[in-house]
């Protein structure tokens, strides 16, 4: 053996290089990557809010034989392999596949969130100014406000009438629908605006949605454009202005998920964060039958605003579900609940920032994720000295690594940003507080929190493969 060769061998044995996942696909996997991408785009087109995603998830679960939580409680006993969905107020849902082992022995959970940064309508949104009808908004989650102007927008959500009827509103997605729009200033008159910092050029109170221009025909009334719009909404949905005060209406970019690149390798869509991990977890959990440990797909709301509220991870919802299921197995004590969580292992499925050649300075290239190099493990998130981070245990990380290697999951490991550059958080710490082993593990992406975000199809597929391997 020559010196050069032995050096190469040594390098192969001792060094670690994260390579393109596209190069590491097995025979026939390229087709699967692309067909998986099609299924994902379909999921994204039908689920542009957390509520719509929950509806989709439950429909898919039911088709696979899942029964509702209420039905399971009514049956009064649990059998191994039983599949149960627990819906939480239409905005979050947990899918359980009961294991052969008792629940006290722990679960395998993949948790992801369904909410995404967007604009919400205020309680009194409709007004008229300058011969135009507009809607006031309050943004949800971390957005860059300037990205939301001068693009086609759609309205999704629910309105509840005085008689209690709930109306599902979707306007702007069908090709024949109108869309909505937030104006920006023409460059000719924007010298003051352009001199401002980017974060100040467009204000939160300036994100007002255009919805009409034609005045109501009766010239005797005031605010005729507003009245005309209310009249049209009343004809279409039977709602009044007061119904807006009790509505949940979300503004999202109009249109479908699209392939990006001449090679169709990537997807641009609204809400990849975190529906990409949600979809990967969903597809993985739906393939699980009769596992040893109980398997859970956990799909949450409110992550983007701190996991608060009764549909976020901080709520007692999931603990209560587990307590109820334990009770069906004859364990009613707090100790059983504690044991169930202490023995649980979790992949916190959330996206992470990939290296962006347009902005190379915000990441440490040696510890960054790259689009196209597979699912990303993130040991710790947090800001300024890992503050607020879950910081996964080495023993659990090592276990996850072996699962991935044994199942030919192409993975990488990275940090969200350079030290002291900024950072982020996920739901990881919450389940860790219960004693579970948790690590963040999800899809790398570009343009996170932009109206349209970007992922690579191969990373989506590897995320699914990773979750499936973890469950098995």
Q: Which residues pair with 437 in a beta bridge?
A: 345
Distance separating alpha carbons of residues 348 and 354, to the nearest angstrom: 17
8 A C-beta contact, residue 105 and residue 343: yes
301 binds Mn ion (CB under 5 A): no
Give min distance, CB of 339 to Mn ion, in A: 30
∠ at Cα 372 (367, 374), nearest 5°?
Answer: 70
The CA distances from residue 311 to 58, 87, 439, 467, in Å, are 16, 10, 22, 23
Distance separating alpha carbons of residues 115 and 103, to the nearest angstrom: 29
Give min distance, CB of 267 to Mn ion, in A: 17
In sequence order, the 6+-apart residues with CB closer than 8 A to the CB of 279 are 39, 40, 43, 44, 460, 464
- Minimum CB distance to Mn ion smaller for 112 or for 133: 112
Give the H or E element holding residue 286: helix 272-286
**Selected range binding Mn ion among 182-190, 272-280, 314-322, 335-343, rule: CB under 5 A:** 272-280
Tell me which residue has its CB nearest to Mn ion: 274
- Minimum CB distance to Mn ion smaller for 56 or for 115: 115
- Minimum CB distance to Mn ion smaller for 52 or for 273: 273
R_g of the chain computed on alpha carbons: 24
Give min distance, CB of 273 to Mn ion, in A: 4
**Selected range binding Mn ion among 3-11, 238-246, 316-324, 342-350, rule: CB under 5 A:** 342-350
Give min distance, CB of 310 to Mn ion, in A: 19
**Selected range binding Mn ion among 143-151, 347-355, 387-395, 455-463, rule: CB under 5 A:** 347-355
**Selected range binding Mn ion among 65-73, 256-264, 281-289, 346-354, rule: CB under 5 A:** 346-354
**Selected range binding Mn ion among 5-13, 54-62, 348-356, 358-366, rule: CB under 5 A:** 348-356
8 A C-beta contact, residue 160 and residue 167: yes
Give min distance, CB of 274 to Mn ion, in A: 4
104 binds Mn ion (CB under 5 A): no
- Minimum CB distance to Mn ion smaller for 280 or for 323: 280
**Selected range binding Mn ion among 30-38, 212-220, 343-351, 398-406, rule: CB under 5 A:** 343-351
Give min distance, CB of 427 to Mn ion, in A: 9
- Minimum CB distance to Mn ion smaller for 86 or for 428: 428
Q: What number of other Cβ atoms are within 10 A of residue 77's Cβ?
A: 9
350 binds Mn ion (CB under 5 A): yes
Strands 266-269, 83-88: pairing is unpaired
274 binds Mn ion (CB under 5 A): yes
Restricted to residues 156-185, the positions that interact with Mn ion (CB under 5 A) are: none
∠ at Cα 182 (181, 188), nearest 5°?
Answer: 120
- Minimum CB distance to Mn ion smaller for 273 or for 415: 273
The CA distances from residue 84 to 145, 264, 285, 290, 321, in Å, are 40, 37, 11, 13, 11
- Minimum CB distance to Mn ion smaller for 104 or for 274: 274
Distance separating alpha carbons of residues 111 and 143, to the nearest angstrom: 23
Size of the site for Mn ion (CB under 5 A): 3
Figure out which of the listed residues 273, 283, 453, 459 binds Mn ion, where binding follows CB under 5 A: 273
Give min distance, CB of 303 to Mn ion, in A: 6
Task: Extract long-range pairs of 359-367: CB within 8 Å, 24+ residues apart.
Answer: 361/418, 362/417, 362/418, 362/421, 362/422, 363/414, 363/415, 363/417, 363/418, 363/421, 364/415, 364/418, 364/419, 367/413, 367/414, 367/415
- Minimum CB distance to Mn ion smaller for 278 or for 315: 278
**Selected range binding Mn ion among 26-34, 258-266, 349-357, 366-374, rule: CB under 5 A:** 349-357
Give min distance, CB of 39 to Mn ion, in A: 21
Residue with tokens 């072996």: 402
Residue with tokens 């599902």: 168
Give min distance, CB of 347 to Mn ion, in A: 14
Distance separating alpha carbons of residues 311 and 303, to the nearest angstrom: 9
- Minimum CB distance to Mn ion smaller for 294 or for 381: 381
- Minimum CB distance to Mn ion smaller for 22 or for 148: 148
Residues in contact with Mn ion by the rule CB under 5 A = 273-274, 350
């Amino acid at each position: 053996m020559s010196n050069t060769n032995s050096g190469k061998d040594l390098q192969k044995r001792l060094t670690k290089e994260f390579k393109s996942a596209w190069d590491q696909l097995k025979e026939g996997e390229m087709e699967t990557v692309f067909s998986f991408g099609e299924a994902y785009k379909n999921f994204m087109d039908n689920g542009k809010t957390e509520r719509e995603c929950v509806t989709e998830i439950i429909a898919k679960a039911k088709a696979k034989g899942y029964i509702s939580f209420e039905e399971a409680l009514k049956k009064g006993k649990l059998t191994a392999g039983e599949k149960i969905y627990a819906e939480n107020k239409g905005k979050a849902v947990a899918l359980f596949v009961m294991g052969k082992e008792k629940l006290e022995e722990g679960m395998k959970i993949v948790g992801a969130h369904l909410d995404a940064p967007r604009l919400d309508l205020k309680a009194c949104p409709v007004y008229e100014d300058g011969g135009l009808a507009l809607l006031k908004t309050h943004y949800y989650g971390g957005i860059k406000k300037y990205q939301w102007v001068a693009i086609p927008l759609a309205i999704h959500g629910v309105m509840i009438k005085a008689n209690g009827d709930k109306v599902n509103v979707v306007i702007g997605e069908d090709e024949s629908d109108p869309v909505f729009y937030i104006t920006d200033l023409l460059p000719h008159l924007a010298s003051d605006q352009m001199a401002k910092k980017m974060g100040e050029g467009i204000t939160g109170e300036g994100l007002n949605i255009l919805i009409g221009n034609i005045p109501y025909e009766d010239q005797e009334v005031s605010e005729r454009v507003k009245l005309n719009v209310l009249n049209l909404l009343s004809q279409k949905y039977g709602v009044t202005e007061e119904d807006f005060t009790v509505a949940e209406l979300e503004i999202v970019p109009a249109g479908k998920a699209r392939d990006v690149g001449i090679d169709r390798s990537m997807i641009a869509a609204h809400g990849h964060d975190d529906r990409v991990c949600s979809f990967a977890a969903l597809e993985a959990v739906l393939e699980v039958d009769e596992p040893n440990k109980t398997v859970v797909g956990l799909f949450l709301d409110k992550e983007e605003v701190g996991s608060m509220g009764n549909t976020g991870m901080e709520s007692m919802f999931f603990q209560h579900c587990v307590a109820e299921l334990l009770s069906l197995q004859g364990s009613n004590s707090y100790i059983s609940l504690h044991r169930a969580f202490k023995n649980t292992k979790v992949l916190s499925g959330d996206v992470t920032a990939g290296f962006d050649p347009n902005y190379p300075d915000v990441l440490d290239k040696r510890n960054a994720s790259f689009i196209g190099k597979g699912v990303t493990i993130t040991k710790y998130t947090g800001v300024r000295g890992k503050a607020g981070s879950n910081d996964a245990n080495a023993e659990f990380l090592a276990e996850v690594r072996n699962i991935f290697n044994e199942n030919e999951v192409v993975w990488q490991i990275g940090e969200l940003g350079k030290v002291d550059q900024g950072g982020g958080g996920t739901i990881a710490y919450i389940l860790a507080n219960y004693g579970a082993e948790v690590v963040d593990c999800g899809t790398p992406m570009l343009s996170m929190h932009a109206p349209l975000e970007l992922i690579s199809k191969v990373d989506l597929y590897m995320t699914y493969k990773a979750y499936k391997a973890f469950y098995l």
